[in-house]
Chain A
């Protein structure tokens, strides 16, 4: 009972956070276009209107297609039902164990053992594993990994995490474009207020992605522990996941993915990251907790 209550709490929290995220990003975008409009004051209303239209469509596209954007960015392809029969069977079995609809199953290129889940709700969800994971993991280990990902789907982590990934990624790009465009703007504007706005603009462009990134770091660590625990509940044994995490730890392969989608994965795709800024809790800690179960 306790478990189920916290599960529901987790879902509610994720839904609220997703709505908050959308509104914050929307507000940041509007603020950005306002500031940009002030700098290029001749086109203020034009820039502001374009900014509003862009922000609206950007938010809508993020909500409905963030999973497709994430999948496309890692070059994932649907897993053929007959060719990857075992993978499909594992997903189907664990869906029976958790009472969830079957997500779509995707494969992404790359020798590193890794996997992620994305989508906006359990009815529209995707599980994606790397070719390396299929090759190097046994059935039991794969079950642990898939169980972990299914838990992300079940408690709506996927909605919040994918939205964060895609929205953060886009802010980074927009801010970068803005900063670059400043280099080409001449020094003929001597007004003091112009200089101040310029400063605010630069500050915003630098701060926006950092702030969202920090929020993202803070949230994804707890989620991983929680998903590990749920995986054990679904598979009734921590052994598979423990073995899989140990193999991931020994794995020296690198995975080329955008930094924005990194937090989606079961373990960080980049191997050398400091503990402080890492999107994932250390593998040793996760293994230690699982071994106590």
Chain B
């Protein structure tokens, strides 16, 4: 009789431990995802902060490239106004492609191309592009870990108990894959 009692007690303890383990695991993985999302946001914001400075520099040499300048300004505004991370990512990609056109245009303005401030901004913006890509990659790595956790056994049982569903990867929007067209 007492042996049976012990067996039951041990089993209950085991189940409690498993519950605690999986609860903490999902909380930790979820926090990592949120944290990496915040990192993407930081990088997008840094990019937006550099834009006014760039516009000023470009205006000094290429005043009549109005359409491209407005495009950049609008994309920046959309980025800052976007409420969700998906919206921010999309606006961020638009901004990135608009910036690419600016740097393409700069080829026509030797003085602008030689401007030290412009060169510095160009370098910084391309570094930020890398960092956006890297933080997006880390975000997707964390999603992968999380999703693996919710799908593999016995994690899937606990995931359904705690109501943890599979999460979406960040997609790279179509715009980002298209090379920006520049007309001269």
Query: Which residues of chain A have a CB within 8 Å of any CB of chain B?
Result: 1, 4, 85-86, 89, 92-94, 96-99, 236
Q: Which residues of A contact B36 (CB under 8 A)?
A: 99
Judge whether B45 is part of the interface by a CB distance below 8 angstroms. Answer: no
Give the distance to chain B from A75, nearest Cβ to Cβ, in Å: 29
**Contact call B138/A99, Cβ cutoff below 8 A:** yes
**Contact call A96/B135, Cβ cutoff below 8 A:** yes
**Contact call A97/B134, Cβ cutoff below 8 A:** yes
The residue in chain A whose Cβ has the minimal distance to the Cβ of B40 is A96
Partner of B131 from the list A86, A96, A99 (CB cut-off 8 Å) is: A96
Judge whether B32 is part of the interface by a CB distance below 8 angstroms. Answer: yes
Complex Cα–Cα for A85 and B35 (A): 26
Q: Which residues of B contact A92 (CB under 8 A)?
A: 127, 131
Judge whether B175 is part of the interface by a CB distance below 8 angstroms. Answer: no
Interface residues of B in 127-184 (CB under 8 A from A): 127, 130-131, 134-135, 137-138, 142, 145, 148-149, 152
Given contacts A1-B145, A4-B145, A99-B32, A94 and B134 within 8 Å (CB-CB): yes
**Contact call A89/B137, Cβ cutoff below 8 A:** no
Partner of B137 from the list A4, A85, A86, A236 (CB cut-off 8 Å) is: A236
Judge whether B57 is part of the interface by a CB distance below 8 angstroms. Answer: no
A interface: dominant SS: helix
Q: A96-B43, A99-B35 are in contact. List 13 more A-B contacts (CB 8 A).
A: A1-B148, A1-B149, A4-B145, A89-B130, A92-B127, A93-B127, A93-B130, A93-B134, A96-B131, A97-B137, A97-B138, A98-B138, A99-B138
Q: Which residues of A contact B135 (CB under 8 A)?
A: 96-97
**Contact call B152/A96, Cβ cutoff below 8 A:** no
Q: Which residues of A contact B137 (CB under 8 A)?
A: 97, 236
Give the distance to chain A from B82, nearest Cβ to Cβ, in Å: 21
Complex Cα–Cα for A4 and B131 (A): 22
Complex Cα–Cα for A18 and B138 (A): 29
A-B contact pairs, 29 of them (CB 8 A): A1-B145, A1-B148, A1-B149, A1-B152, A4-B145, A85-B123, A85-B124, A86-B123, A86-B127, A89-B131, A92-B127, A92-B131, A93-B127, A93-B131, A93-B134, A94-B134, A96-B39, A96-B43, A96-B131, A96-B134, A96-B135, A97-B134, A97-B135, A97-B138, A99-B32, A99-B35, A99-B138, A99-B142, A236-B137
Give the distance to chain A from B118, nearest Cβ to Cβ, in Å: 15
Interface residues of B in 43-65 (CB under 8 A from A): 43
Complex Cα–Cα for A225 and B100 (A): 38
Given contacts A1-B145, A99-B32, A89 and B134 within 8 Å (CB-CB): no
Complex Cα–Cα for A97 and B32 (A): 13
Q: Which residues of B contact A89 (CB under 8 A)?
A: 127, 130-131
Complex Cα–Cα for A1 and B124 (A): 34
The residue in chain B whose Cβ has the minimal distance to the Cβ of A2 is B148
Complex Cα–Cα for A98 and B134 (A): 8
Complex Cα–Cα for A93 and B138 (A): 11
Q: Which residues of A contact B149 (CB under 8 A)?
A: 1
Q: Which of A1, A89, A96, A98 has the most CB of B within 10 A?
A: A96
Complex Cα–Cα for A96 and B127 (A): 12
Q: Which of A86, A94, A99, A236 has the most CB of B within 10 A?
A: A99
The residue in chain A whose Cβ has the minimal distance to the Cβ of B128 is A89
The residue in chain B whose Cβ has the minimal distance to the Cβ of A236 is B137
Q: Which of B36, B123, B127 has the most CB of A within 10 A?
A: B127
Interface residues of B in 94-137 (CB under 8 A from A): 123-124, 127, 130-131, 134-135, 137
